[in-house]
């Protein structure tokens, strides 16, 4: 990588730059070597040096060329107007930049007209030289005390070198130990000066943890740990100090206490009473802001929490207050702005010779040079402005009242402008109006690419308009990132930004997807650049799903103008975009989806097709609706050069996909299923090697699978052997080949399936057209793919010949099209071909969702090699979705509407039905977002009297953003239903006023909201739920109100669709999934043999340690007679009372150190004493009654653990347990490992002696050890308890398990406890990520599956709107995109039953009107069906039975049902209730029970 020489111009050369437009290389060199920025005496005095003015700290940093020794350029400083400076504090002791960190120097802070800016820069250069970061000419960096220039009385060098002669020794951003130590020490002295000394001058006195003289040194050690990890530590420090200086300068009255500043008061009031803590927390808060301002790879707030031990809430709150106090605006002098732009401008490479004005306007470098020159002109034009204010990318609301902060308002780590790529650059708001070139914006990466002269960006004319992001600090949000990226890019001289670094996986964002793909696949995806060509609905759907998944970059190509019909399916476009290039128009909206995935526009001119030259930088190329001629041209090159190729097309209700991943594509995991494992009981020593498994579970293997073995005793040659191929012999047996030469098998062993890579050979499209491999999507239509194979080719040929596609329902066009297809295959189905011609101009959202979701998953397979790709042609159609009465040609003519694509398929008449259809969407999560998107494109409920109801009680969380694409980071904390409704109304304004949002959950408690009137206003219900309970409830409501229900769900790459039609199909509740297999309680408690067992055990321990005993204490304190009532029903009375005594009296901690002691003793009890007790009761040589070793097969003999604070798992348990215990008691936690080691190692643990006679539960049916404690012992314990009246208002805080909050120690505890338990039993441990999924019961999810499944749901919705009434017209579906697999079937018909001569199904009911009496009710069954009523109940109340005594019967039989229900239940019938569901038991004349439909009593 070669750079032009860096030229530094002073301000007096600006006119020459902007007016002459010609500066020669020699002139620039002269300027660079004779002058340094800002050192010519022209800086206004009111912009003060960084080490003098408290209120004018300015971010700075180093810049150097990578891989070469470059010049150490001056920092671009931020000035603050201090003309009327109120901060004349002459007595403050201020550390000097130019002295040894250990020897602070006194510098008076007097009036504001002190040393000029160059003095501060001189001192910065000096301290950096002393730290070994820079070399002063002729001086040794290893001798910092022998600088050689002499020192003045202040310890400053008397004759400092000119900065232009100072060269950087290290590349920008690298860490140097001496630099970090010096920076930390220097920083701590400054923090002490700014936030402690002002207090000491007043009446307030801080307490010191140690000696005041050592405070700065103590804090420096803590700051050093932070600086070792942050990128750009110098810049972070200077930013932090500038922020602190600005904050401490906010008090207008010189005598006002600094505690009046909200950030400092908040810190002090939340535990920072000690000077050292106060200093450190102040630095951390401001360093967080600095880090998030300047660095690409920033720390999240959670990471700062872990690094600093400062509670998450305090970090968030103080950052919020800091930003409010700062107003988050920065002032830079106009000259400093010039310096920044000039520096960036001078870095541009201009051919072989450096001539800054000899550029070609059409080249990338030239365009960028022109762009920067125009920025200079704009700044220069503002002659009357002495300073430029740069505003935040997002407004920060002022805190008008102490305590009124909302951390969800702004999350810097989630802000794509502050912290993630891409960013746009510009200057102050409004500046983009001063020059036309500023209408063309760019990102930091685009700027870098241009500076590098990369050929990967052929055209920058497509770039988006600037968004007003500021230049701040030493090149701030732009320059620092350029320097960082250049540093990384320098490792590969030929690399562009596409290839420089590997993204860090954000587990908070991608958590659900990671459980689908895994870390390795995600890392591979993060190196892949994807090109999507053709951006109508299908291309947009593919690009959306790929962006959400997290590839390295997505590039768009479609220069054709937006048309009105595009709005049928292209939800990233708006009516105001009509006429604009498609890619450019959709770019701003799709770029918001994922801050980790840069999205760019490849440019081009209208009508210009993609070419081979343009696709070369990409790993995956997707062509949408391209001609076959173009597909073949592009695929010929991709097939030869190893680029993965996908072509896709949708036409009405038809879709096609072609894959070519190259001649030999390696698939590392064809299924995505977890490898199987199981225990074995024998291995035959012969030529076949028959393996027999434990009969607890089938092995699940298939012929051709591979396995390896561990823990076999005897035939040890198999342990960790090479994978051996399996031949299945039965559900519990398989063979592995010759074992005759091995030792004799004795016992034990575990088989582990090994996923073997699969090589897949793809043919090119040219070859595949004549010899296709079809992927079947519907086995009931096995012959269709062959017809559609020639049909789509014929469509392409027809368009070539006629310049258009066949017109909707035009018979003549269809005949010509069919003739073309018949030439390719005379046996093709003419009816299917005709329908394809009729729909060729159609474009409907459900089909684009199905094909787009499928293709996006294929893209991810190409990027990651995870899951089996589709081989090789897919053809899909859903002709069943057409209306029963087919539209005419006239009905399908375009009407100049956004729905013309849908009208071309269904006609105007059916479209009117769609607009008047009323749906209730239950859930606005992943499925709900996709559903609303499709409905908005379809125009559902946009009619004058139609409405969509949507309800969801959840609020938006970070993990939702990965697949719930209607949400953005700015929406975190808001209600899903409201945000989703607003988003789709923006997509289609016709929906405004037609979506009603609710936040109530569906259930019995909200039947007053979702009542009879509500359901009577609906035409159907669509579930988008994530739990079975709510699904069953909605299923029951749909049966009651006779409404069609669309049910769907996803789990990873698997998805299903079920359509439920009244009086036609069975209901959701008619069939159930098999129950999830649960481990036996005795296995979890005493005999675990798998990591799932230990995780389950640790999850139970979590409740047993931090939830249940705390709740018991609170119940004891709040409920009268709690102990008396609980002891009646508890089988462990002694343990129960002893636990309350422990948590409330004997082991109640008063300090955090006591929590550490408690955690250490818990370790001993659970991982040492309990195991020793188990082995005492069941020794390792224990035999069963049959003489076999007890510890064999699934029972693994454990070993006790000896605590070792140096073991990270041991210490992790102590840290998590102590912090959770402290949370129970409201004590402040810690995370510093040194504290935990020190306390834990000092704990004296009592010697444990195992007890005799302890019964161990061995089998599930064995009785659990019952409490046989003497009642007197229990009474003695109770006496130790304080009476509740003595602790009025005192409560402990139970821990509410939350899996997605990384800093709360919940998953940390479960992971550590599970792994320690696994170590006891010699079970392989699991990482935190795996533990989190199992313990949190997280359902894997990915956007591709969701999009496809919702598309299938909407295809069924068309049928419901049409009112189809034949079972065979509907389709239940199941998909697995990993395999891939599609399966469709007719819904199961509702089961028919009969009583007497009456036939009925679950949809029928016996209905009674006008609130009958019980006597009338009983008589009706007798007179109409000769059935005797033996029992009547409603809800949980038995209203009457045949054995009710005569007095009650006589009383109740005359009662009407409302009165009867109120009488028996003692509760009133609520006003919204208009019917009662009544259960009845009936018998016929022979005394046999008779089943009848449910009974509905109208009241």
Closest C-alpha among 180, 11, 168, 198 to residue 91? 198
Tokens standing for residue 1004: 């019995």
Angstrom distance (rounded) from CA 440 to CA 1295: 53
Is 179 in contact with 133 (CB distance < 8 Å)?
yes
Angstrom distance (rounded) from CA 132 to CA 113: 32
Instruction: Give 387's strand partners.
Output: 333
Q: Which residue has the tokens 């802001």?
A: 289
Torsion angle, CA of 634/636/642/643, rounded to 10 degrees?
A: 10
CA atoms within 13 A on the CB side of 57: 25
Cis amide prior to 1368 (ω within 30 degrees) = no
Angstrom distance (rounded) from CA 895 to CA 370: 46
Which residues 6+ apart lie within 8 Å of 1283 measured at CB? none
Per DSSP, the residues of 1152-1202 read: HHHHHHHHHHHHHIIIIIHHHHHHHHS-TT-B-TTSSBSS-TT-PPP-PPP
Helix, strand, coil percentages, rounded to 5, for the chain: 45, 10, 45
Residue from 85, 492, 667, 1082 carrying the catalytic annotation: 1082
**CA distances (Å), origin 648, targets 557, 601, 641, 851, 1381:** 15, 20, 21, 8, 18
Angstrom distance (rounded) from CA 980 to CA 966: 6
Is 1044 in contact with 1062 (CB distance < 8 Å)?
yes
Is 717 in contact with 742 (CB distance < 8 Å)?
yes
Tokens standing for residue 481: 């990132």
Map residue 1274 onto helix, strand or coil: helix
Q: At what angle do helices 976-987 and 926-938 cross, to 10 degrees?
A: 30
Q: Work out the burial of residue 1361: count CB atoms within 10 Å of its CB; fewer than 13 is exposed, 13-18 middle, 19 or more buried.
A: buried
Angstrom distance (rounded) from CA 739 to CA 717: 9
Q: How far out from the chain centre does Cα 36 lie?
A: 47
Strands 758-760, 665-667: pairing is antiparallel
Strands 677-683, 948-951: pairing is unpaired
Closest C-alpha among 884, 889, 893, 951 to residue 913? 884
Q: At what angle do helices 275-294 and 476-489 cross, to 10 degrees?
A: 80
Catalytic-residue membership of 624: no
Is 1052 in contact with 1340 (CB distance < 8 Å)?
yes
Closest C-alpha among 262, 255, 303, 256 to residue 282? 262
Is 931 in contact with 481 (CB distance < 8 Å)?
no
Tokens standing for residue 939: 């125009």
Strands 644-651, 654-660: pairing is antiparallel
Angstrom distance (rounded) from CA 516 to CA 1342: 7
Angstrom distance (rounded) from CA 122 to CA 162: 8
Phi, psi angles (nearest 5°) of residue 533: -110, 125
Q: Work out the burial of residue 944: count CB atoms within 10 Å of its CB; fewer than 13 is exposed, 13-18 middle, 19 or more buried.
A: exposed
Catalytic residues: 1082
């Amino acid at each position: 990588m070669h750079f032009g020489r860096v030229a530094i111009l002073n301000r007096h050369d600006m006119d020459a730059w902007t007016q002459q437009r010609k500066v020669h290389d020699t002139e620039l060199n002269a300027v660079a070597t004779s002058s340094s920025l800002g050192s010519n005496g022209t800086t206004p005095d009111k912009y003060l040096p960084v080490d003098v003015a408290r209120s004018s700290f300015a971010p700075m940093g180093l810049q150097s060329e990578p891989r070469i020794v470059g010049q150490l350029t001056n920092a671009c400083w931020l000035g603050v107007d201090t003309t009327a400076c109120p901060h004349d504090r002459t007595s403050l002791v201020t550390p000097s930049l130019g002295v040894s960190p250990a020897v602070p120097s006194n510098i008076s802070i007097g009036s504001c007209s002190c040393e000029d800016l160059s003095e501060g820069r001189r001192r910065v250069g000096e301290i950096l030289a002393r730290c070994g970061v820079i070399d002063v000419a002729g001086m040794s960096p290893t001798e910092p005390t022998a600088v050689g220039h002499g020192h003045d009385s202040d310890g400053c060098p008397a004759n400092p070198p000119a900065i232009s002669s100072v060269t950087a020794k290290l590349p920008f951003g690298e860490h140097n130990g001496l630099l970090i130590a010096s920076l930390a020490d220097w920083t701590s002295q400054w923090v002490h000066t700014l936030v402690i000394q002002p207090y000491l001058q007043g009446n307030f006195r801080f307490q010191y943890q140690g000696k005041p003289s050592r405070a700065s040194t103590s804090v420096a050690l803590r700051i050093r740990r932070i600086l070792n990890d942050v990128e750009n530590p110098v810049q972070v420090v200077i930013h932090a100090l500038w922020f602190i200086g600005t904050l401490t300068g906010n008090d207008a009255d010189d005598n006002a206490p600094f505690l009046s500043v909200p950030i400092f008061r908040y810190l002090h009031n939340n535990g920072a009473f000690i000077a050292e803590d106060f200093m450190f927390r102040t630095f951390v808060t401001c360093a967080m802001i600095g880090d998030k301002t300047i660095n690409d790879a920033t720390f999240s707030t959670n990471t700062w929490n872990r690094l600093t031990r400062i509670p998450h809430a305090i970090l968030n709150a103080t950052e919020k207050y800091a930003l409010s106090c700062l107003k988050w605006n920065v002032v830079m002098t106009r000259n400093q702005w010039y310096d920044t732009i000039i520096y960036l401008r001078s870095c541009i490479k201009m051919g072989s010779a450096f001539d800054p004005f000899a550029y070609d306007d059409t080249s990338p470098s030239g365009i960028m040079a022109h762009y920067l020159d125009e920025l200079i002109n704009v700044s220069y034009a503002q002659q009357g402005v002495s300073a430029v204010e740069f505003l935040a990318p997002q407004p920060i609301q002022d805190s008008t009242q102490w305590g009124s902060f909302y951390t969800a308002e702004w999350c810097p780590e989630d802000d794509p402008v502050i912290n993630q790529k891409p960013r746009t650059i510009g200057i102050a708001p409004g500046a983009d109006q001063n020059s036309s070139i500023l209408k063309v914006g760019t990102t930091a990466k685009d700027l870098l690419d241009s500076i590098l002269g990369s050929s990967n960006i052929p055209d920058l004319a497509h770039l988006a308009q600037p968004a007003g992001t500021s230049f701040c600090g030493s090149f701030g949000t732009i320059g620092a990132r350029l320097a960082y990226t250049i540093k990384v890019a320098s490792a590969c001289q030929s690399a562009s930004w596409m290839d420089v670094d590997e993204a860090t996986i954000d587990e908070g964002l991608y958590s659900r997807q990671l459980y689908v793909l895994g870390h390795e696949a995600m890392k591979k995806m993060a190196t892949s650049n994807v090109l999507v060509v053709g951006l109508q609905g299908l291309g947009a759907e593919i690009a959306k799903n790929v962006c959400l998944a997290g590839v390295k970059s997505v590039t768009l190509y479609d220069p054709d103008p937006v048309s009105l019909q595009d709005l049928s399916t292209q939800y990233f476009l708006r009516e105001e975009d009509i006429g604009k290039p498609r890619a450019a128009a959709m770019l701003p909206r799709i770029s918001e989806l994922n801050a980790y995935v840069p999205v760019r526009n490849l440019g081009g001119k209208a009508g210009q097709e993609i070419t081979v030259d343009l696709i070369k930088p990409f790993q995956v190329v997707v062509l949408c609706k391209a001609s076959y001629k173009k597909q073949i041209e592009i695929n010929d090159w991709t097939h030869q050069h190893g680029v993965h190729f996908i072509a896709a097309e949708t036409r009405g209700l038809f879709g096609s996909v072609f894959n070519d991943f190259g001649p030999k594509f390696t698939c590392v995991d064809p299924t995505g299923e977890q490898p199987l494992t199981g225990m074995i009981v024998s291995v035959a020593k012969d030529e076949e090697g028959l393996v027999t498994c434990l009969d607890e579970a089938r092995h699940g293997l298939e012929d051709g699978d591979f396995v390896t073995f561990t823990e076999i005793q005897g035939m040890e040659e198999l342990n960790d052997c090479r994978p051996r191929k399996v031949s299945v012999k039965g559900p519990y047996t398989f063979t592995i080949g010759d074992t005759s030469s091995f030792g004799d098998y004795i016992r034990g062993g575990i088989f582990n399936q090994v996923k073997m890579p699969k090589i897949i050979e793809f043919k090119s499209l040219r070859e595949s057209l004549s010899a296709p491999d079809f992927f079947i999507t519907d086995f009931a239509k096995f012959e269709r793919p062959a017809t559609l194979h020639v049909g789509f080719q014929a469509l392409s040929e027809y368009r070539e010949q006629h310049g258009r596609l066949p017109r909707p329902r035009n018979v003549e066009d269809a005949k010509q099209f069919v003739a073309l297809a018949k030439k390719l295959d005379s046996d093709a189905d003419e009816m299917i071909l005709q329908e394809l011609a009729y729909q060729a101009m159609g474009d409907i959202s459900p089909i684009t969702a199905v094909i787009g979701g499928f293709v996006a998953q294929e893209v991810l397979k190409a990027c990651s090699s995870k899951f089996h790709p589709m081989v090789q042609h897919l053809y899909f159609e859903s002709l069943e979705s057409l209306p029963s009465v087919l539209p005419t040609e006239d009905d399908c003519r375009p009407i100049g509407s956004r729905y013309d694509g849908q009208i071309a398929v269904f006609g105007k008449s059916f479209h009117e039905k769609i607009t008047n259809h009323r749906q209730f969407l239950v859930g606005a999560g992943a499925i709900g977002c996709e559903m609303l998107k499709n409905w908005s494109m379809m125009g559902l409920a946009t009619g004058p009297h139609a409405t969509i109801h949507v309800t969801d009680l959840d609020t938006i969380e970070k993990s939702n953003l990965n697949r719930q694409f209607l949400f953005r980071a700015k929406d975190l904390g808001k209600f899903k239903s409201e945000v989703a409704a607003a988003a789709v109304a923006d997509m289609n304004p016709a929906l405004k006023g037609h979506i009603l949002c609710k936040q109530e959950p569906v259930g019995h408690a909200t039947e007053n909201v979702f009542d009879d009137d509500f359901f009577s206003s609906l035409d159907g219900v669509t579930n988008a739920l994530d739990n079975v309970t709510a699904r069953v409830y909605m299923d029951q409501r749909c049966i009651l109100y006779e409404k069609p229900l669309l049910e769907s769900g996803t789990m990873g790459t698997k998805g299903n669709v079920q359509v439920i039609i009244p009086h036609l199909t069975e209901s959701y509740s008619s069939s159930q999934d098999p129950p999830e297999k649960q481990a036996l309680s005795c296995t979890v408690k005493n005999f675990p043999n798998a990591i799932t067992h230990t995780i389950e055990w640790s999850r139970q321990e979590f409740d047993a340690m931090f939830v249940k005993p705390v709740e018991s204490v609170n119940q004891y304190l709040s409920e009268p007679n709690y102990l008396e009532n609980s002891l009646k029903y508890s089988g462990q009375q002694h343990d129960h009372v002893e636990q309350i005594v422990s948590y409330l009296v004997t082991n109640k901690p008063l300090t955090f150190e006591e929590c550490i002691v408690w955690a250490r003793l818990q370790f001993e009890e659970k991982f040492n004493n309990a195991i020793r007790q188990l082995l005492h009761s069941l020794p390792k040589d224990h035999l069963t009654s049959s003489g076999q070793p007890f510890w064999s097969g699934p029972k693994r003999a454990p070993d006790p653990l000896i605590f070792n604070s140096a073991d990270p798992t041991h210490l992790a348990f102590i840290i998590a347990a102590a912090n959770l215990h402290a949370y129970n008691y409201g004590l402040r936690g810690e995370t510093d490992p040194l504290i935990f080691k020190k306390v834990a190692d000092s704990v004296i643990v009592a010697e444990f002696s195992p007890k005799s006679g302890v019964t161990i539960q061995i089998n599930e049916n064995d009785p659990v050890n019952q409490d046989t404690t003497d009642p007197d012992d229990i009474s003695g314990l109770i006496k130790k308890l304080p009476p509740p009246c003595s602790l009025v208002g005192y409560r402990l805080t139970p821990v509410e398990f939350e899996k997605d909050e990384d800093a709360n120690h919940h998953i940390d505890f479960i992971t550590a406890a599970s792994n320690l338990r696994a170590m006891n039993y010699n079970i392989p441990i699991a990482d935190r990520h795996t533990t989190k999924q199992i313990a949190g019961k997280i359902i894997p999810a990915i956007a591709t599956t969701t999009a496809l499944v919702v598309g299938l749901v909407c295809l069924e919705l068309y049928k419901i709107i049409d009112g189809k009434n034949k079972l065979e017209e509907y389709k239940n579906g199941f998909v697995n995109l990993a395999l891939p697999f599609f399966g469709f079937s007719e819904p199961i018909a509702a089961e028919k039953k009969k009583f007497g001569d009456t036939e009925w199904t679950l949809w029928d009911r016996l209905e009674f009107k006008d609130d009958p009496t019980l006597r009338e009710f009983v008589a009706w069954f007798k007179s109409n069906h000769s059935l005797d009523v033996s029992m009547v109940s409603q809800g949980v109340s038995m209203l009457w039975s045949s054995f009710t005594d005569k007095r009650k019967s006589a009383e109740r039989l005359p009662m009407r049902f409302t009165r009867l229900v109120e009488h028996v239940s003692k509760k009133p019938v609520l006003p919204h209730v208009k019917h009662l569901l009544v259960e009845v038991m009936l018998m016929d004349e022979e005394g046999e029970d008779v089943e009848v439909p449910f009974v509905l009593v109208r009241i």
